[in-house]
Structure 1
Amino acid sequence: MYERILVRYGDLNLKGKNKKVFSDRIDRLIREKLAAFPVSYDFRHDRMFVILNGVESDAVMSRLDRVSGLYSYSPITKCAVDLDEIAKTAVSMIERKTGGKATTFKVETKRADKQYPQTSQEVSRELARRILPSCPNLAVEVHDPELVLSIEIRPEGAYLFTEQIRAMGGYPVGIGGKGLLMLSGGIDSPVAGYLAMKQGVEIECLHFESTPLTAIESVQKAIDIVEILSDYAPYSKMKLHLVPFEPIHQKIIEHIPESFIITVMRRMMYRIAEKVALRHDCLCVLNGESIGQVASQTIESMDTIGSVCDVLVLRPLATYDKIDIISVARKIGTFDISNRAFEDCCTVYLPKNPVIRPSRKLALHYETFFDYEPLVTAAIEGVKTLTLTPREHFDIASKGLVVKEALDA
């Protein structure tokens, strides 16, 4: 039915002289995501057409949903620049769209071919006059219609569409540099990673695993989440760095007062994340913290925990409500994975009464209760890195109970 898809870029009109850099990056991302299809392209200065060449439009649009920097897209039908032919094509599209249900509509025409003899308004009025007798379920509503029939008159033909589908928006992934996402396996951090990519930040992921203190299935959760997130990444590939955190985890449980366990644990994680970020040329560390959501995410906690590192820390979810985070998690397909009942090192052995306003002074004092620096160094040196894609599932849970043994097997 559809001949092509009209793709509109996102906030590139804000970019001035850098606009071409952004649009070129988006064009490359689109080609990457659609590489499996025999489609062709018609690039314009502020938009592009994906010419389907017989490919099913839904399959192409599903892949466009993984391209950041796109504002919207519309599946388009092409016909001859003849009012009778345009009206006939429009009636067919409207019947399929409405199913005969009573619908308000209007016609909007863009006369890109300035040599065409009638004005845009005249074309719209004439087409509405020809369409209405064949579609008795339609009623004209020019201010707030349920259906807008959009028509572009060009020298090579007329292009018709009835919907504008919102895309990811934001900026093309990678244009904003690279960051390291602290990925817990819960609901929040995958959403933070998605939103960072939406704004142009390429990400690598860091997961703190405490096997066998925690189940290997908690690591599988992180792997499965990264496989989903990787579909939004350049070339649909993403690195997951697995930190052997169990030795540090044990020492914290043994030596740190219960109320400060989470504070000190998070401080250790930040120290490690900073070092790993620098090793992999990441300009920032990202996480899924949301102000006030849990004890470690009060302003005071964030200040005390974040004070151990100098690298920029970004919190894409800082002001999000949980219900909005869950909504995005469902949309991108990570919610059900995050809800699997396997605890990671952030949720196992949670204190009953964690401190909500920890001071830096007390945190530093408690950290003198054990020699953590050699453990942090060993954890960094013991990092295992996986490169994951949505096309090849990696099953670590079937390979062993401890990450090192499973990956070395």
Structure 2
Amino acid sequence: MEYEKLVLAALSGEIVLKSERTRPRFEQRLVENIHDALSRNNVSCKSIAIEYARLLVRDCSDYDKALDTLLRVFGVHGAAIAYSFKHSGSLDEIAVGVREIAAEWVKGRKFAVRARRSGVEGFTSLDIARRVGAELYPYSAGVDLEKPEVEVYVEVRGRQVYVYQGMRPGPGGLPVGVEGRALVLFSGGLDSPVAAWYTAKRGVEVDLLHFILAVPASARDAERVGRRLAELWLYGYKPKLFLVDFRPVTVTIASNTRRGYEQIVLRLAMYYAAQLIAEKHGYDAVVTGESIGQVSSQTLKNMKAMAQALPLRLPLIRPLAGMDKEEIVTVCRRIGVYEEAAKTKEYCQIARGLAITRADPKILSEEFEKVKDIVEASLATLKTVDLA
């Protein structure tokens, strides 16, 4: 019997549940993103196709690397290296084919067979599991359906059989590019890359915006972390980092702003600058890494005051609003950017004494007006760095 090695992936449930009119667009974008991801990771795969809500990646130069890459593409629920063969409709034929692939997997170990079928008549998924289990049993240490040492997955789809040892989890979400574009305020610390990641997971192309507040070294930190994030996750487009020299703004705030309002005026200035850049470059939203109550400028009262002092024309999205620092750090580690983000230093401390936690919107608006023109002038320093 002839077998084919491939990478088998499950689509995100959100894609599968889309309407017949919408789903093809999402699937096409997912395939395009996977092509880009494989290319950027120096993996050649000649065929990428979607059949029966499964993604089939064939003829790869390096299957292990192809699998690792797919597991970093939004829209992929899970993936595994699988082996495939054709059958003629005989359950015995399927069982023998699976045995030739999986006998070594169960050798001396307790196992379970997990079977499913689609587009096949004459037998059920349970029939497949029982018959395959009987075929593998002599090679094993017995069957344990509750806590097996190894699970053999068998999918019979039409005349094709796929055999694998369970899928590793992918990020899920939606393919990047199906939900527009957003500009992420990006310090390069622990919060901002996680905010960018969560936004990209919802199908949004994210570009990054860094404000140089004190020294140019902060731009190098932001670029280093941004490149790591793009390398691992941002596929299907050319992610960018925008840099703005905000030092004249911070100097003015430090010397001319009402005591206690420095940090919140600086944050409002960043919102305003981000809005102007986003509108000029066609972004649909601005994203921040703020978490409610994490620092003084991020109290809910201050967020309300900022919204009243300067109503924005674009949505301001806070993906981390309900997360605490420990949760953010956990995600940062999981997505592979913690080691770089943890190196980022705090370059600017402009508050003189205690920072206000319940700002007055009227006072905040008045204080912001003192720096508004300088914020607008700072945009002349805008530079763009390609991250991939």
Asked if Structure 1 and Structure 2 have the same fold, meaning a TM-score greater than 0.5 normalized by the shorter chain, the answer is yes
Q: How many residues align?
A: 372
Take 1:124 and 1:38, find their aligned partners in 2: how far apart are those partners? 35
Take 2:143 and 2:54, find their aligned partners in 1: how far apart are those partners? 31
Take 1:367 and 1:239, find their aligned partners in 2: how far apart are those partners? 28
Amino acid at match of 1:240: L
Report Cα offsets for 1:235-271 as digits up to 9, x if no partner.
4631111111000100111112331110111111111
Take 1:312 and 1:123, find their aligned partners in 2: how far apart are those partners? 51
Aligned to 1:76: 82
The Cα shift of 1:154 comes to: 5.0
Aligned to 1:397: none
The Cα shift of 1:44 comes to: 1.3
Take 1:333 and 1:356, find their aligned partners in 2: how far apart are those partners? 33
Aligned to 1:264: 265
Take 1:93 and 1:237, find their aligned partners in 2: how far apart are those partners? 41
Aligned to 1:303: 304
Task: Give ranges in structure 2 of 5+ residues lacking alignment.
Answer: 88-92
The Cα shift of 1:74 comes to: 2.1
The Cα shift of 1:177 comes to: 0.5
Pairing partner for 1:123 from 112, 119, 128: 128
Alignment partner of 1:49 is 2:68: no
Aligned partner of residue 259 in structure 1, secondary structure:
coil
Provide the identity percentage.
27
**Is the 8 Å Cα contact of residues 5 and 76 (structure 1) preserved in structure 2?**
yes
Report Cα offsets for 1:157-195 as digits up to 9, x if no partner.
532111121111111111111111001121111100011
CA 166–2 in structure 1, closer or farther in 2 if over 3 Å, else same: farther
Amino acid at match of 1:8: A
Aligned to 1:3: 5
Aligned to 2:90: none
Take 1:327 and 1:247, find their aligned partners in 2: how far apart are those partners? 36
Please list, as runs of the form range in 1=range in 2, the aligned pairs for 1:110-259 lying within 5 A after superposition: 110-112=116-118, 114=120, 118-136=123-141, 138-141=142-145, 143=146, 145=148, 147-154=150-157, 157-210=160-213, 213-214=214-215, 216-231=216-231, 232-235=233-236, 237-259=238-260
The Cα shift of 1:135 comes to: 1.5
**Is the 8 Å Cα contact of residues 278 and 285 (structure 2) preserved in structure 1?**
yes
Aligned to 2:275: 274
CA 112–367 in structure 1, closer or farther in 2 if over 3 Å, else same: closer
**Is the 8 Å Cα contact of residues 230 and 236 (structure 1) preserved in structure 2?**
no
Alignment partner of 1:66 is 2:72: yes
Take 2:320 and 2:347, find their aligned partners in 1: how far apart are those partners? 20
Amino acid at match of 1:49: L
Q: What do you get for the CA RMSD once the two structures are aligned?
A: 2.3
The Cα shift of 1:155 comes to: 6.0
Aligned to 1:386: 385
Alignment partner of 1:91 is 2:82: no
**Is the 8 Å Cα contact of residues 112 and 144 (structure 2) preserved in structure 1?**
yes
Take 1:113 and 1:267, find their aligned partners in 2: how far apart are those partners? 57
Report Cα offsets for 1:38-81 as digits up to 9, x if no partner.
3222321522211134x332200121123111111121023464
Take 2:27 and 2:158, find their aligned partners in 1: how far apart are those partners? 25
Structure 1 stretch displaced more, 309-318 or 190-199:
309-318
The Cα shift of 1:224 comes to: 1.0
**Is the 8 Å Cα contact of residues 30 and 64 (structure 1) preserved in structure 2?**
yes
Aligned to 1:324: 327
Take 2:162 and 2:101, find their aligned partners in 1: how far apart are those partners? 10
Take 1:128 and 1:281, find their aligned partners in 2: how far apart are those partners? 57
Aligned partner of residue 181 in structure 1, secondary structure:
strand
Amino acid at match of 1:388: L
Amino acid at match of 2:38: L
**Is the 8 Å Cα contact of residues 254 and 351 (structure 2) preserved in structure 1?**
no
Take 1:79 and 1:235, find their aligned partners in 2: how far apart are those partners? 32
Amino acid at match of 2:65: A
CA 226–153 in structure 1, closer or farther in 2 if over 3 Å, else same: same
Amino acid at match of 1:33: A
**Is the 8 Å Cα contact of residues 188 and 288 (structure 1) preserved in structure 2?**
yes
Aligned partner of residue 170 in structure 1, secondary structure:
coil
Aligned partner of residue 3 in structure 1, secondary structure:
strand
Report Cα offsets for 1:203-223 as digits up to 9, x if no partner.
11110103xx33x33211100
Amino acid at match of 1:121: L
Take 2:17 and 2:251, find their aligned partners in 1: how far apart are those partners? 50
Aligned partner of residue 52 in structure 1, secondary structure:
strand
Take 1:41 and 1:240, find their aligned partners in 2: how far apart are those partners? 30
CA 147–365 in structure 1, closer or farther in 2 if over 3 Å, else same: same
Take 2:126 and 2:365, find their aligned partners in 1: how far apart are those partners? 72
CA 87–80 in structure 1, closer or farther in 2 if over 3 Å, else same: farther
Aligned partner of residue 208 in structure 1, secondary structure:
strand
Aligned to 1:18: 22
The Cα shift of 1:275 comes to: 0.3
**Is the 8 Å Cα contact of residues 259 and 355 (structure 1) preserved in structure 2?**
yes
**Is the 8 Å Cα contact of residues 6 and 48 (structure 1) preserved in structure 2?**
yes
